[in-house]
């Protein structure tokens, strides 16, 4: 299956994490959504396993 997916993450307290080539990124407490494409090999199933 191919398409688009949304990864929703709830951050309970401020945190700093490494985000790929962006390096260390700070996130305040809150809810975040990442929208991605699942057109590559494996489609949505592969993307969900990756995250």
pTM for the structure as a whole: 0.66
Q: Provide CB contacts within 8 A for 38, sequence distance 6+.
A: 1, 2, 3, 4, 5, 44, 46, 47
Model pLDDT for residues 1-44, shown as the tens digit of each residue: 567 888 899 999 999 999 889 999 999 999 999 898 877 777 77
Specify the pLDDT at position 29.
Answer: 98
Q: Where are the domains of the chain?
A: 4-50
Reported confidence tier of residue 48, pLDDT bands at 50, 70, 90 = confident
Between the CA of residue 20 and those of 1, 2, 3, what are the distances in Å? Answer: 26, 23, 22
pLDDT score for 24:
97
């Amino acid at each position: 299956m191919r398409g688009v997916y949304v990864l929703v993450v709830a951050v309970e307290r401020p945190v700093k994490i490494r985000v790929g080539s962006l390096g260390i990124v700070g996130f305040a407490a809150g809810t975040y959504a990442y929208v991605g494409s699942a057109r590559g090999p494996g489609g949505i199933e592969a993307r969900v396993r990756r995250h």
